[in-house]
Structure 1
Amino acid sequence: MKTDFKFSNLLGTVYCQGNLSFSPDGTHLFSPVGNRVTVFNLVDNKSYTLPFAHRKNISRLGLTPQGNLLLTVDEDGQAILTSIPRRVVLYHFSFRSAVTALAFSPSGRYFAVGLGKNTEVWHVPSTPDTNAEGDLEFAPFVRHHSHRGHFDEVRHIEWSNDSRFFLTASKDLTARIWSLTPEEGFVPTVLSGHRSGVVGAWFSKDQETIYTVSKDGAAFQWEYVSRPSRDDDEMRDDDESDMRWRIVKKNLFMRDRANVRCAAFHPESNLLVAGFSDGIFGLYEMPDFNMIHTLSISQSDIDFVTINKSGEWLAFGASKLGQLLVWEWQSESYILKQQGHFDAMNSLVYSPDGQRIVTTADDGKIKVWDIESGFCVVTFTEHTSGVTACEFAKKGNVLFTSSLDGSIRAWDLIRYRNFRTFTAPERLSFSCMAVDPSGEVVAAGSIDSFDIHIWSVQTGQLLDRLSGHEGPVSSLAFAPNGGLLVSGSWDRTARIWSIFNRTQTSEPLQLDSDILDIAFRPDSLQIAISTLDGQLSFWAVSEAEQVAGLDGRHDVSGGRKIGDRRTAANVAGTKSFTTIRYSTDGSCLLAGGRSKYICLYSVSTMVLLKKFTVSVNLSLSGTQEFLNSRLLTEAGPAGLLDDQGEASDLEDRIDRTLPGSKRGDPSARKRRAEVRVSGVAFSPSGTAFCAASTEGLLIYSVDNTLQFDPFDLNMEITPASTLAVLGQEKDYLKALVMAFRLNEAGLIQRVFQAIPYTDIPLVVEHFPTVYVARLLRYVAAQTEQSPHVEFCLLWIKALVDKHGAWLTANRGKVDVELRVVARAVAKMRDEIRRLADDNVYMVDYLLGHQSKGTTGKSTTDGTKAALEWTGIEEDHDHSVKALPSSENTGISMADIIQQDDVNEGEEEWIGLE
């Protein structure tokens, strides 16, 4: 099988921290997910993750007004400049300190960053569409100017429409106005008057008004006016020397016990939106400060809000719960509403069709993710405790999950409901589960009991309890052929059960350490067992003896936790694989555990084929090979010290956690996520695999896009010679093979459509087997795109008839192509069925008029005229059929009904001649 898997997408995480950004057209939303950036297509309902990764979590990102460049900055000030159309990294740069604010000018030539108390303006690297002179740049990032004046960190930067001025809002209770270049008569201005840190400052559309919002809920309106007169009756001329920015109106949001966490202003529509710490946002119309509506969208703080260019969509991000929402305020509806798991994921499984992935986590939720769109389709919340395992039945859309709440639940993924719940006589916490391939029996093991419980799926009754283990059962696996059940336990034994025989016997397999996971090979002849000492052992099921083994401690080792006393190389004795899975063809084994590596082994040679690095994010514990000794203090590692009480804001210093609600190690002073892999799975087609990690759901796939890949070429094979063979020699088979050798889409389509339909079976019968998969994929694509329906179906029928044996033998290689064909045929069938149903209803209505009596011409004649007008003719045997010209008549069924109602009783239908 192919092993050149590459990272393709990140699911399970939609927002972590930092700011959100809309594309210039407002159809795409850029969201930071850890040290990566995910782009959500809000129109096509799809998402993808950019291929680059920072060394730490992203804190700020900015998009140029043209939408072609993306600048992302992590927590340490390391920046990456990316080309959005090509999705490639252009430049790496360091700002040498944390960036607290980032904004591009509307002209696209400058961007401003907030570096603590200072503000710096930089030139945007020129691109071919902005650099008219074509000059070469040797330094993409050039600093234009630096501004100093704030006494606390800058939290927000906003540019004016003409890119001449920009506003900075700071935690020092002030906002300041700066100019890009020295302006005559202008001096930097301080806007002071707030009693709390300023969240944001914005110019109005005409730049005559400035709006500022502070954390305590005050919204000020500033205008450039002179000092108001103390005597209202006395009018005096404006003194130019007394003109300055003054507060002309003060507004309050009036939110008790809630602070303003973020705000955004849209100058074109004068809309102000504010997000509060209680999860509620408010939408207001300025300058009158009229409240349009408020809505509760989260149970925690809203960290960031932004508005797209048209002012229709509002995007919100809540980092504590990992929520991302896009709200259309005019229709009051959600455009996007996504949320990842609150706690760490425990397991995952592919659906039988390979289109969806199901994940379970400690938060008690089960989420179903669509692979193509990247979105969560449905979330199940019936479990009251952490969900430990999940598995699909081989046939149908039935999912089984086990939980620590003592229940096994069966889910119908067509109606999205829980239709069966299995429980034990006593209260147990189930840690593992397995489903019989037939879907008739489900088995579960517990950490509280040493028995294996077996239920009937049809009745929900407990069938049996298998005893024999002397320790908690950690893993269960049914053979793919449904004959055997293998269980692994902490008592260092694995047992093979024949549960369908009249006498249930178990064959114990003795190992040297506690068993962590068991995987069955797809042919049911071999099992792989992972143990706590880092060993992988392979056993033959029929002989119940070990046939091979390998030591994976050195492969899985790597990464030093922040509290480790030993180096990553010396800590290898504690590393092991907690999850293992066979590939679809059984030739490879995928293994992962509490490490930053995923290992791919060859089953036949016991060789490490490839090692995948899960994450390089230094914000996680366990990604570094060496720790910095400067971060080790007398009180312990600096990363574990709790600095919450030293926060500058009062609400940040208060510890609101409830007693006993802290997760993880109670003795830890500060929790830091640890990089690990809790589950791996191969897709049914074998072209991708997925890993549930700390950062989310990582999908690695083989690139299936066909690039220009010519082979078997010589000097005689050219586009001209191919067309000559097609037109002059009429050798369709040779022309099609030559076109596939050149692999040019336009040439293949021209040859494909020129082959007569009568010669299709003959061409396919002698078509080389090496090109069958490509031809099948091409025909499937043409079936979905081309209007030649019957022509494509004849190709599919010929391929199945002539090469059916080869397709069956190589199902794993052409599974993707066969699914595309099945989807195209099903789509075509549904369209034809819908068209036929519509025609039946129309014909039934027209024929129903025969029972009506009219003066003059009979109703039958009127019906015949209507049939002729609508493109339907009546045969001599009074059957009705559609004429080819019916699609060009331009008249609808509603027009006929209306015309009939108006002219009922007249001699003939008007307009039907």
Structure 2
Amino acid sequence: MEHVTSNRTLKGHTEWVRCVALSHDANTLASCSDDWNIRLWDANTGTARGRPLSGHMSWVSSIVFSPTRQELISGSCDGTIRVWSLETCRTLLELSGGHVQAVNAVAISSDGAVIVSCSRDATLRGWDAGTGQYITPPLVGHSRSVTCVAFLPHSRLAMSGAEDCTLRTWDFTEGVETASSPQSRHFARLESRIWSIACTPDGARVACGLSDGTIRIWDFESGVLVGGSIYCHQKAVRALQFSHDGTQLASGSDDGTIRISDAVDPGKILWTANHPQRNVIAIAISPTGHVVASCTLDCWVRLFDATTGEELHALRGHTRLVSSISFSLDGSMLASGSEDRTIRFWSTATGETALAPIVYDYPITSVAFSPDGARLASTSTDGTVSIWDPLTGDRIMNALDPDEDEIGPLYRVAFSPDGRRVATTGMDKALRLWDTSSGQLNRAPVNGHWQRITSIAYSSDGTRIASSSEDESIRLWDARTGELVGRPLVGHGDTVNSVAYSPDGRWLASASDDGTIRLWDATDSWLRTEWDS
């Protein structure tokens, strides 16, 4: 496919745009928004058509064009559905009283005769598109908010998805659920909430998007799932890291487990270790590949044999949450930073204290050894980034953004592969690049996420920085200039907690609260493929 670029930007709404729809002749584009309005646009020129369609008393959540009339159907959080004339931009019908909570989505049959709506009240309704009258009682079957609905082409059979993680089929000729029909026996409970449904034009396949960031596709007649998703943990995946030879991927989760997977086939689990205390906060693999370290909510750090999964040592010394861990260059020492305001150094061979702890004035949020192992960088809740000599405990650098009166805590730090820079992120959602010799910022802070950044990682060649965020996305940055590279990487259905590059720089791994781990092509060809897909 050719590279897709933005042709123009259509400006008019004053709040988030919830949904867009293209007319069947591809000449008109409709958009609906949290500003309670619907707008029509010339799809060829991008110019607005007529005045905004106003009448809903809350967010407009869904719109669809009639296939047979010059009409547009909309559903709103005010609990109503409206049918609009595209010629006059006025309401033709107001379908009210069918739902007691917000309307999440609307759909219309291919013959233009039946409108179906689904709601936060866990019901669906069928309506006569010509009169606006009910043709069904409330259709009950889902136990939670029904988030999406779509008609199969050339029929009045519709499919709905909900927050109860189920897919259902409905026959709007009769207005009853076809649960006993052979056509629907294959669609049942899934692992995650269902956010969207789509059908191929021939009705042969049905796709749905799930809250875990995965897409499932079925052959409708046989009910056979086309492809699948890999789940390594039962709960949110908080941390992950590639082994230095790139053959293994370590992950830690809120389910209290650490898993080592085959990096080529993440579905192949090599071993699993269970923590007595749930919630794995951070994970690291030694440069030699022999030891895996983890820290959890119990304030302990544990070391495991990377081959067998056997626990080697439990490192006790911190009195509050351990927020970050980092191995030295030769893997002989592990540094840990904690909310107890200390940085501790441990021998990976004996599990004993290797060096005197560093005591700071504020909680430590992140630690990272320099590539040569001679320095250690740390961030803290006071908004500073520090660089230490681990042997003496002397602070070599202590830097604070001079242009920000109060940037809040810094949460993550990472050394560039050449050790000349460190990257930090904090509460203000900005990426900062610091010169490790002078302690000065290389450039002004840059923003790309709209919620807190949870993790940062340099590529092995030092040209890119990857960041993950609570906004469910991953972003790539030019490590020299700090500028964003490409668009956000989206697919996860919840906070992305951690990112890690493979040693050869070809792959980027991400871990999320949705319980999944994803592998991304991190080469330049990935950029082209992502935008085309």
Match of 1:856 in 2: none
Give the counterpart of 1:685 among 440, 446, 461.
461
Deviation of the 1:540 alpha carbon: 3.7
Match of 1:368 in 2: none
Deviations 1:236-274 (A, max 9, x none): xxxxxxxxx697975875637567554323554555333
Contact 1:112 1:119 (C-alpha < 8 Å) held by counterparts: no
Against the structure 1 CA distance between its residues 475 and 169, is the aligned structure 2 distance closer, same or farther, given a 3 Å change threshold? closer
Against the structure 1 CA distance between its residues 479 and 86, is the aligned structure 2 distance closer, same or farther, given a 3 Å change threshold? same
Give the counterpart of 2:400 among 552, 566, 570.
552
Against the structure 1 CA distance between its residues 180 and 330, is the aligned structure 2 distance closer, same or farther, given a 3 Å change threshold? farther
Contact 2:166 2:188 (C-alpha < 8 Å) held by counterparts: yes
Q: Distance in 2 between matches of 1:118 and 1:579?
A: 39
Match of 1:33 in 2: none
Q: Distance in 1 between matches of 2:114 and 2:125?
A: 10
Deviation of the 1:548 alpha carbon: 2.4
Deviations 1:64-112 (A, max 9, x none): xxxxxxxxxxxxxxxxxxxx96523623522357767653322333344
Against the structure 1 CA distance between its residues 611 and 308, is the aligned structure 2 distance closer, same or farther, given a 3 Å change threshold? farther
Contact 1:169 1:201 (C-alpha < 8 Å) held by counterparts: no
Match of 2:230 in 1: 378
Give the counterpart of 2:245 among 379, 395, 399.
395
Deviation of the 1:505 alpha carbon: 4.4
Deviations 1:352-396 (A, max 9, x none): xxxxxxxxxxxxxxxxxxxxxxxxx633115x6x65543333235
Deviation of the 1:472 alpha carbon: 5.5
Q: How does 1:9-88 map to 2 (within 5 A)?
A: 86-88=4-6
Q: Distance in 2 between matches of 1:517 and 1:315?
A: 41
Deviation of the 1:599 alpha carbon: 1.1
Against the structure 1 CA distance between its residues 463 and 286, is the aligned structure 2 distance closer, same or farther, given a 3 Å change threshold? closer
Match of 1:280 in 2: 166
Q: Distance in 1 between matches of 2:423 and 2:329?
A: 18
Contact 2:257 2:280 (C-alpha < 8 Å) held by counterparts: yes
Q: Distance in 2 between matches of 1:430 and 1:179?
A: 55
Deviations 1:178-204 (A, max 9, x none): 36269xxxx986487974478636364
Unaligned runs of 5+ in 1: 1-43, 45-83, 128-139, 224-244, 338-376, 558-568, 618-674, 705-813, 818-822, 824-913
Contact 1:107 1:162 (C-alpha < 8 Å) held by counterparts: no
Deviation of the 1:681 alpha carbon: 0.9
Q: Distance in 2 between matches of 1:430 and 1:274?
A: 36
Q: Does 1:90 find its partner at 2:8?
A: yes
Q: Distance in 1 between matches of 2:201 and 2:95?
A: 29
Match of 2:518 in 1: none
Contact 2:246 2:504 (C-alpha < 8 Å) held by counterparts: no
Contact 2:385 2:398 (C-alpha < 8 Å) held by counterparts: yes
Deviation of the 1:609 alpha carbon: 1.7
Match of 2:287 in 1: 437
Against the structure 1 CA distance between its residues 272 and 437, is the aligned structure 2 distance closer, same or farther, given a 3 Å change threshold? same
| SS at 1:533 equivalent | coil
Equivalenced residues, count: 470
Q: Does 1:526 find its partner at 2:302?
A: no
**TM-score, normalised on structure 2?**
0.69
Match of 1:766 in 2: none
Q: Distance in 2 between matches of 1:106 and 1:112?
A: 12
Against the structure 1 CA distance between its residues 410 and 158, is the aligned structure 2 distance closer, same or farther, given a 3 Å change threshold? closer
Q: Which moved more, 1:173-182 or 1:388-397?
A: 173-182
Deviations 1:590-620 (A, max 9, x none): 1122221111112233221245544464xxx
Q: How does 1:413-432 map to 2 (within 5 A)?
A: 413=263, 416-422=267-273, 431-432=281-282
Deviation of the 1:213 alpha carbon: 2.4
Deviations 1:863-884 (A, max 9, x none): xxxxxxxxxxxxxxxxxxxxxx
Q: Distance in 2 between matches of 1:119 and 1:516?
A: 44
Q: Distance in 2 between matches of 1:163 and 1:264?
A: 19
Contact 1:194 1:214 (C-alpha < 8 Å) held by counterparts: no
Q: Distance in 2 between matches of 1:396 and 1:616?
A: 28
Deviation of the 1:149 alpha carbon: 7.5
Contact 1:175 1:191 (C-alpha < 8 Å) held by counterparts: yes
Q: Does 1:332 find its partner at 2:180?
A: no
Against the structure 1 CA distance between its residues 287 and 460, is the aligned structure 2 distance closer, same or farther, given a 3 Å change threshold? closer
Match of 2:50 in 1: 144
Match of 2:512 in 1: none
**TM-score, normalised on structure 1?**
0.43
Deviations 1:311-356 (A, max 9, x none): 344343456x65644444244344576xxxxxxxxxxxxxxxxxxx
Match of 1:49 in 2: none
Match of 2:441 in 1: 608
Q: Distance in 1 between matches of 2:153 and 2:322?
A: 62
Q: Distance in 1 between matches of 2:340 and 2:441?
A: 29
| SS at 1:380 equivalent | coil
| SS at 1:90 equivalent | coil
Deviations 1:525-552 (A, max 9, x none): 22222233333232345x5353621323
Mark the structure with the bigger radius of gyration: 1
Match of 1:180 in 2: 87
Against the structure 1 CA distance between its residues 461 and 612, is the aligned structure 2 distance closer, same or farther, given a 3 Å change threshold? same
Q: How does 1:845-856 map to 2 (within 5 A)?
A: none
Q: Equivalent pairs: percent with the same residue?
A: 22
Q: How does 1:142-221 map to 2 (within 5 A)?
A: 142-144=48-50, 157-161=63-67, 164-167=70-73, 176=83, 178=85, 180=87, 190=93, 195-196=98-99, 200=106, 202=108, 204-205=110-111, 210-215=113-118, 216-220=123-127
Against the structure 1 CA distance between its residues 268 and 697, is the aligned structure 2 distance closer, same or farther, given a 3 Å change threshold? same
Q: How does 1:436-515 map to 2 (within 5 A)?
A: 436-445=286-295, 448=298, 452-458=301-307, 460-464=309-313, 473-500=322-349, 505-515=354-364
Match of 1:264 in 2: 150
Q: How does 1:307-318 map to 2 (within 5 A)?
A: 307-317=199-209
Q: How does 1:627-646 map to 2 (within 5 A)?
A: none
Q: Does 1:255 find its partner at 2:133?
A: no
Deviation of the 1:685 alpha carbon: 3.0
Against the structure 1 CA distance between its residues 329 and 481, is the aligned structure 2 distance closer, same or farther, given a 3 Å change threshold? same
Q: Does 1:296 find its partner at 2:188?
A: yes
Contact 1:163 1:180 (C-alpha < 8 Å) held by counterparts: no
Deviations 1:544-592 (A, max 9, x none): 353621323557x5xxxxxxxxxxx4x44xx232221111222221112
| SS at 2:455 equivalent | strand
User: Match of 2:160, as an amino acid?
Assistant: A
Give the counterpart of 1:537 among 364, 379, 386.
386
Q: Which has the higher helix share?
A: 1
User: Match of 2:369, as an amino acid?
Assistant: F
Q: Distance in 2 between matches of 1:427 and 1:196?
A: 45
Q: CA RMSD in A?
A: 4.8
Against the structure 1 CA distance between its residues 591 and 282, is the aligned structure 2 distance closer, same or farther, given a 3 Å change threshold? same
Give the counterpart of 2:474 among 679, 683, 698.
698
Contact 2:434 2:441 (C-alpha < 8 Å) held by counterparts: yes
User: Match of 1:144, as an amino acid?
Assistant: G
Q: Distance in 1 between matches of 2:371 and 2:129?
A: 71
Contact 2:146 2:163 (C-alpha < 8 Å) held by counterparts: yes
Higher relative contact order (CA 8 A, sep 6+): 2
User: Match of 1:265, as an amino acid?
Assistant: F
Q: Distance in 2 between matches of 1:148 and 1:467?
A: 63
Deviations 1:859-913 (A, max 9, x none): xxxxxxxxxxxxxxxxxxxxxxxxxxxxxxxxxxxxxxxxxxxxxxxxxxxxxxx
Give the counterpart of 2:22 among 104, 107, 110.
104
Unaligned runs of 5+ in 2: 481-502, 507-520, 522-533
| SS at 1:438 equivalent | coil
